[in-house]
Amino acid sequence: MALPGFPNPSGVAAYDDRLRRERLRATRTGAGWVRWRRTRVMLMRLSLVPLVALGVFAEYLGADVLPEQARLAETEPAVLPIAGPSDPKASDTAVFDLVGLGVLDASDTARALPSLSRLGSVWAVRYDNTGIDTKVIADLIVKVTEAAKVPNVVLAGHSMGGVIALEVAKHLHTDSAEKVQAVLLDCTPVDLEAVRPESRDQGEEMLRWMGWVPGARESRILRLTVEMYARHDRFVGGPYLIRGTEFRETARDVLRNKILNTDAASNGLIEAQFKAIVAGGAVDDLRALAKPVAGKPRPAIVFIRPHDPYRDPIVDVEYSHQVLVDQVGGVDGTLLVVTTRTTGHANPIERPQEYNTVIENQVVPFVRELQRERAAAAAR
């Protein structure tokens, strides 16, 4: 730059910040507007917001929703073999285990209950991650049992899985040649009133989100948000509002078990599972199972619950207990209620010893005795 009073030896124009600012003002958008210039500029800027939102939404669909839709479209329900019958007397029976809300595959639960093999060969039901069709599950069970020439079926359902088990049992009892010997219900909510208010509110809030947010049934971002919020008590608090170490550990746990795990239940499956409870069809299914059909006797109903009802924070087991007594109990009923001391809400993986003990000592003898009584009655 040349000094004041001296020519610029390089011939390059001297830098002048004032001229630069004037040039920017003269060339910026709306520089020639005279009337309502500020309002018009603000409106123009606001008009860009929908374009940015549309771009973000397109990225959300392309990177999050559509790939998950394609993966889920390839899933289908299945029944998976777990164990053969441990008692030769039970070789004519197959036991099918069904899990509850938020779980896709019953294999781990069925393996935690080897005592079920006293009732017959054990199978685990794996749901279709896009939703639940109980008729399809019933048809799979018929296909498997007919191929194995096994005429008798026992269904075991944990929590919401018991609602699905009852509906599957009704299909088998009324529309197939299979004989449903028993339905085991582990802390099952027979209708929405049996779900404790806090859990009920969370489920209803989830259904609202599913209805409002496009792609919510497949979105892993939304699932991550919901799962982290459900665990916020682990990391919220302290002088910085969020405890960093606990937050990172929770995020890793959710990502590993719920987001990146291909065996985790999808948002759509969880929605279908909760809707099965909302529909309240379990009571109608119990009524259908309480009547003999085509010469087949009515199934036994076994309800497993904590002795202290407040050990189950999700289901009001006292309420379900009373409904079951009303529907299938009584002098001529086929209901057995088993109370446990240390179990919580449908947690056989966490409390396998007590579950296996009550199945071995109470459930198996009850079902066997009922089978003997029916065989004797048929022979007379």
Residue 83: inside a domain: yes
pLDDT, tens only, 126-157: 998 878 889 999 999 999 999 999 999 999 99
Q: Environment class of residue 202 by beta-carbon count within 10 Å: exposed (0-12), middle (13-18) or buried (19+)?
A: middle
**Number of domains the chain contains:** 2
pLDDT, tens only, 327-357: 988 767 789 999 999 999 999 999 999 999 9
Sign of the four-CA dihedral 148, 153, 154, 156: positive
109: tokens are 């639960």
Q: Environment class of residue 137 by beta-carbon count within 10 Å: exposed (0-12), middle (13-18) or buried (19+)?
A: buried
- Intra-chain end-to-end CA distance of the chain, in Å: 119
61 and 178 together in one domain: no
Residue 85: inside a domain: yes
44 and 137 together in one domain: no
Domain that holds residue 177: 78-194+281-379
Out of 56, 73, 90, pick the residue that ends a domain: 73
169 and 314 together in one domain: yes
The SS3 assignment for 102 reads coil
190 and 323 together in one domain: yes
The SS3 assignment for 264 reads strand
User: Does the pLDDT at position 17 exceed 80?
Assistant: no
Residue 61: inside a domain: yes
With a CB cutoff of 8 Å and minimum separation 6, the contacts of 204 are none
61 and 169 together in one domain: no
97 and 178 together in one domain: yes
62 and 133 together in one domain: no
pTM over 0.85: no
Q: Give me the DSSP letters along 107-171.
A: HHHHHT-GGGGGTSEEEEEE-BTTB--HHHHHHHHHHHHHHTT--EEEEEEETHHHHHHHHHHHH
